[in-house]
């Protein structure tokens, strides 16, 4: 199938890089009043990764939806990446995903060639690993291939992770390397094979192990790093928590060749949209220019960004690495709120 179909030729922007820019999205949401009630624990008022709806004293639903255009050519890999990405928001809330429904928009010629079947097969392999069942879906004919899922999970109301609880003194743990946007651009040109292979493997990897490992520690705040970039999601955490974050560029985990690829200009267009929209950032003028491209790079199926007490950071990192997440890193700290949400060093 991968020799017959090259999915990325059907989409100008792939993966989470196809998202509407945060500044555009905000202008849309401002004009809409969304229904809610007292059972809603987490809604659209902040920048959390999923909604949470309380059913009882010790049970709440975590609900999310995610879909995007192809970030790789191979349909099976695309299905795996899309499924892992769709499940990620449940893990980012500290939840356990239970059910999924497929969201499909595909051109009929690709369906007839078997591409959609391969996408679904890839997605199902990831759902089986996550022990998530499929209960339905919806499909439309569409010129640009689109695939994703709506996912429902469970969490105890008292144990919901939000992106707005970071505390001064916390350290910041990132569980996956950065650079999926840069590497997906390199992939289209057949460049940086080692790095693109690493990025594909990372995007296919569930955040399940990261979530389950982190549950053994005190998590003050959590988010997954996706299309709005490390700086975008860090800014949301800082602003929601009433603090500032300091990020250390020399500590950021990267795929092989990301710096070289970014310096060559292999940067997705969404990077520039993120840079335009996410402005409460200081310090980029004090580091090499390439770090701006990397820190604003739109991530697809990225890792969890966790704010944990400093005294627990080293133990959490050790447990994450022993669980197989060898690229997990302490990338910074939470400080008293300053003039900017994020400071880059």
Residues classed as catalytic: 16
How far apart, in whole angstroms, are the C-alpha atoms of residue 78 and residue 336? 41
Angle in degrees, 0-180, between the axes of helices 269-277 and 229-241, rounded to the nearest 10: 20
How far apart, in whole angstroms, are the C-alpha atoms of residue 17 and residue 117? 24
Up-side HSE of residue 326: CA atoms within 13 Å toward CB? 3
**Can you give the length of the chain in residues?**
345
Strand partners, 222: 306
């Amino acid at each position: 199938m991968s020799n017959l179909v090259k999915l990325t030729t059907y989409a100008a922007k792939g993966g989470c890089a196809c998202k509407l820019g945060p500044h555009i999205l905000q202008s849309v949401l401002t004009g809409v009043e969304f229904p809610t009630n007292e059972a809603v624990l987490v809604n659209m008022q902040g920048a959390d990764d999923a909604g949470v709806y309380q059913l009882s004293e010790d049970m709440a639903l975590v609900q999310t939806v995610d879909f995007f255009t192809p970030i790789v050519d191979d349909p099976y890999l695309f299905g795996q990446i899309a499924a892992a990405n769709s499940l990620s928001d449940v893990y980012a809330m500290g939840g356990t995903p239970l059910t999924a429904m497929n969201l499909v928009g595909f051109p009929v010629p690709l369906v007839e060639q078997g591409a959609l079947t391969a996408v679904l097969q890839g997605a199902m392999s990831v759902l089986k690993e996550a022990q998530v069942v499929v209960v339905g879906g919806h499909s439309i004919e569409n010129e640009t291939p689109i695939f994703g899922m709506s996912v429902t999970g469970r969490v105890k109301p008292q144990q919901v992770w939000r992106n707005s609880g970071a505390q001064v003194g916390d350290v910041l743990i990132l569980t996956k390397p950065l650079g999926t946007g840069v590497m997906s651009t390199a992939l289209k040109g057949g460049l940086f094979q080692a790095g693109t292979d690493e990025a594909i493997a990372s995007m296919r990897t569930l955040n399940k192990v990261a979530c389950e490992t982190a549950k053994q520690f005190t998590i003050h705040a959590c988010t997954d790093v996706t299309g709005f970039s490390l700086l975008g999601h860090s800014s949301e955490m800082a602003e929601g928590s009433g603090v500032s974050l300091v990020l250390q560029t020399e500590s950021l985990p990267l795929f092989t060749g990301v710096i070289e690829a970014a310096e060559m200009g292999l940067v997705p267009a969404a990077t520039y949209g993120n840079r335009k929209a996410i402005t409460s950032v200081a310090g980029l003028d004090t580091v090499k220019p390439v770090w701006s491209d990397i820190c604003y790079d739109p991530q697809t199926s990225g890792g969890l960004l966790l704010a944990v007490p400093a005294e627990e950071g080293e133990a959490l990192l050790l447990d994450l690495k022993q669980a197989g997440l060898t690229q997990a890193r302490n990338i910074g700290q939470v400080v008293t709120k300053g003039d900017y949400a994020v400071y880059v060093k």
